[in-house]
Chain A
Amino acid sequence: MAEPAIKRNDESYKIVDEGIDKGIARLSPEKIEQVINKVLAAETGARLKTYVETCVHCGLCSEACHYYLSHDNDPKFSPAGKVKQTIWEILKRKGKVDPEFIRDASRIASTECNLCRRCAMYCPFGIDIAYLMSVVRRLCHMLGVTQLYIQDTAHSHSATLNQMWVKEDEWIDTLFWQEEEAQDEISSLRIPIEKEGSEIFYSVIAPEPKFRAQLIYQAAVIMNAAGVDFTMPATPGWDNSDQCMFTGDYEMMGRLKKAHFETAMRLKVKRIVMGECGHAFRSVYDVGNRWLAWKMPPIPVTHAVEFYYELLKQGKIKIAKKYDKPVTFQDPCNIIRGKGLHEKARYVVEALCEEFIEMHPNREHNYCCCAGGGVINTGPQYKMKRIKGNRIKAEQLFATKTRGAKVIIAPCHNCHGGIEDILHHHGLDMELHFLGDIIYKVMEKPV
């Protein structure tokens, strides 16, 4: 008959996470019950109820999940299996669960689900399992149980309004530095800071100035070559990323998005163009704006993929010589299932590259990278879990490689992090690039 809801022989139990341990140590069953019931009563309603009562336990969602497929179809990793181990139990026991249950719930919701929403396309009822997992994350957050590393980024968001503890002067200095570097290549190049009334506010995630500053360099080259009227702010609000959305710290998520939108308003720009990041797009376009009661973002938001599409389509950037290595394309969940940019992305790839080889499945049905949804941000101790949890991605990439692909293009930072680890672990000798990397390589540049 029914199997026990929780199995405790999983190797992931051996992962030491101070954030979880300390959080759990502070809990008591009474506190858990009180917090859970308070949050459920205040924040959930018809959706949670309908989803839980409509699910007929058919298991059809299972094959949607890369964790399930990568763990030899272990039912504990199926989408509904994760719901069973968390929210069903919580509702059934009316919040009367012990601290160890919360430890498991946090592990499942935050490190075994990327909120990629692929399962919504496999459940006949369209039950939003990512939403159910977000509810569990929210409960864990309210109980003070969050993985140490991602909580640290949440603290950074809270203290600096950016994800990476980048100080204001460091941010400005990085922009100056990249401008200077790029001027060696294009002497007239500018990264206009605080230019009020610009067409575009170009926003990035904090890891770009922190350790991928060349992406700002490349973006500046593209912007200048295309003659785009853009600016970047000198104040907090420049960062579009949002780990608070993933920890369940929605109050903080609201502050972040408010700062971001208000920066755009202050600069009187016409729209925000974002770098190649998936989760940030989800936050700005879909989730954060809703918390602030904006049905759609108060100012148009364009993801890099769509922006490059415009530039190429309008002939604002010209290709000197197409990229000659055979490439494949990783469809990131947050801009494909999140914005339907798959055809535009293919237009861009085809415009830049000689040979494009599809990976299968693709478009809305592509497998998640297993890094997004805040999972990579839970820290290095969960790295092997991510890699093992996405064997299916390694197989998918290997199959594409055997069909000739040498380069993977992934227009998302999380996809990069996840795929990089997978390539390295499996010794899959493939290059990994952003679209911007390729554009920078093949475009005609002004002198």
Chain B
Amino acid sequence: MHDIYNFVSGPLVWVSFIIFFGGSLYRLISMAVLARKKDVFVYEYMSLKFGLRSILHWIIPFGTVKWRKNPLFTIVTFTFHICIIFIPIFLSAHIILWKESWGISWWYISDTAADVLAIVVIASCIFFLVRRIVLPEVKYLTSISDYVILAIVAAPFITGFWTYHQWPGFKVMGIIHIVAGEIMLAAIPFTRLIHMIFFPFTRGYMGSEFGAIRHAKDW
């Protein structure tokens, strides 16, 4: 058990971080090179000002017509996305691990707060799941991979919650939790989770086209 723990919390962490950062960088660079080769005008039309203008509207809750028309979805998706980045970085248990490994630490949230936020994330995942099953327009687009991706994202939070509360088998669950987190990180560059990396570019490009060329808003 200890050997497994040491392995998943040691070398595997390195592997997952390398895959995440390296993979994301690779995807970005290869896409940029491909764009230079095949869609060179993207560089011509990309505008920092209008790209950022569009991105800004879309990353502000209720900043676009679309967000305002779907208030429940907007609240859930913003809370969810903020939490899945915020919790792992500012969780005290994670910070202890950083400190033990590299002697670095920073501000962290209380365990109770983390607990509540984890529930929020899990509830959001259930919301997305139900949405996929119930809404015809989402169901129509859904394939097995969409459920797998949702599971990849939900798993670290469910297992983390389980481990923290020391429910039965929590030691094994702790190991599963670490692996689940690593899988999620490693999956980002190579699944549709890549939207995390590509979002600024796709939105920014549409914002540039709409703003600089077409003198219109795209939100």
Contacts and interface: CB of A to CB of B under 8 A. Distances in A.
Interface of A: 1-3, 43-47, 49-51, 53-60, 62-63, 68, 73, 75-76, 78, 80-81, 84, 120-122, 124-128, 286, 290, 295-296, 336-340, 342, 364-365
B141 A57 contact: yes
Contacts of A47: 35, 39, 42
B214 A365 contact: no
Nearest to A293: B41
Contacts of B34: 45-46, 49
A56 B215 contact: no
Given A125-B202, A126-B203, 8 more contacts: A2-B144, A84-B141, A121-B217, A121-B219, A122-B65, A126-B218, A339-B214, A339-B216
B38 A44 contact: yes
Q: Is the interface of B mostly helix, strand, loop or mixed?
A: helix
A228 B217 CA distance: 32
Contact of B192 (A46, A56, A73, A124): A56
B143 A57 contact: yes
A3 B137 contact: no
B126 interface: no
A76 B146 CA distance: 18
A76 B69 CA distance: 22
A337 B209 CA distance: 10
Nearest to A92: B143
24 contacts: A2-B142, A45-B35, A46-B32, A46-B35, A46-B38, A47-B39, A50-B201, A54-B194, A56-B192, A56-B195, A57-B142, A57-B146, A59-B135, A63-B69, A81-B137, A121-B64, A121-B65, A121-B217, A122-B66, A124-B58, A124-B203, A295-B41, A296-B213, A338-B214
Nearest to A296: B213
A120 B203 CA distance: 9
A3 B142 CA distance: 8
Given A2-B143, A54-B195, A68-B137, A46 B42 contact: yes
A295 B45 CA distance: 8
B203 A125 contact: yes
Contacts of A337: 210, 214, 216
Contacts of A3: 139-140
Contacts of B137: 59, 62, 68, 73, 75, 78, 81
B140 A76 contact: yes
Interface string B151-182: 00000000000000000000000000000000
B41 A290 contact: yes
